């Protein structure tokens, strides 16, 4: 029996990521239009249907965040690409802390895989929920003491290796440069 991934969210890993960001954004006050400068980085993927990019700027008690997101689908397969920048550590992996400095970490349980590796000079964390066939690829773009930026590709209905291959289609260096230009 084939699972219907379109009726599910992105499994445990994705739910945690999305709920964390939703909580942060509920109190958001949208300002300026700097998130729109990130839209060109959310490329078209061959064979996938991409939705219109969305985004927001948030300024809350001195914490500034910029976010751009685009969803993609192909049959029962789903992707969400997100670029996020913050001037403060906001938890949930926004900042690459001392535990993330190294590369080559691998954790495997009956439920999930997690890897940390360096790819093309970027620290990359992959999380894969085996039962849900879903997860996220997170590329840490900047590593500032009080904040940072990252690109995340959340996915459902595809393998971990296919998701990493799709994440590599996005130009991480270009995204990093755009993020650094966003105020």
Rounded Cα gap, residues 92 and 88, in angstroms: 12
Percent of the chain with pLDDT over 70: 70
Q: Is there a contact between 60 and 27 (Cβ–Cβ < 8 Å)?
A: yes
Helix (H, G, I), strand (E, B) or coil at 12: helix
Kindly report, residue by residue over 76-131, the tens digit of the pLDDT. 999 999 999 988 644 444 344 434 455 678 899 999 999 999 999 999 999 999 99
The answer to whether 182 and 85 are in contact (CB under 8 A) is: yes
Range of the domain at 29: 5-97+104-181
The total number of structural domains that make up the chain? 1
* Terminal-residue alpha carbon distance, the chain: 49
Segment 14-44, tens digit of pLDDT = 555 554 454 444 333 333 458 999 999 999 9
**pTM score:** 0.76
pLDDT on residue 98: 37
């Amino acid at each position: 029996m084939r699972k219907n991934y379109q009726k599910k969210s992105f499994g445990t890993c994705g739910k945690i990521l999305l709920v964390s960001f939703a909580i942060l954004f509920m109190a958001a006050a949208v300002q300026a239009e700097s998130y729109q400068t990130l839209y060109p980085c959310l490329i078209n993927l061959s064979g996938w249907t991409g939705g219109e990019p969305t985004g927001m700027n948030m300024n809350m008690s001195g914490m500034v965040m910029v976010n751009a997101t685009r969803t993609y689908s192909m049959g029962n397969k789903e992707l969400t690409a997100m670029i996020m920048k913050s001037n403060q550590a906001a938890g949930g992996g926004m900042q690459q802390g001392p535990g993330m400095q190294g590369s080559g970490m691998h954790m495997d349980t009956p439920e999930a895989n997690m890897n940390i590796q360096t790819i093309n000079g970027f620290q990359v964390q992959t999380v894969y929920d085996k039962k849900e066939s879903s997860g996220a690829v997170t590329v840490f773009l900047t590593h500032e003491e009080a904040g940072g930026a990252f690109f995340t590709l959340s996915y459902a209905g595809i393998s971990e290796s296919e998701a990493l291959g799709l994440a590599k289609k996005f130009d991480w260096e270009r995204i990093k440069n755009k993020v650094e230009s966003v105020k």
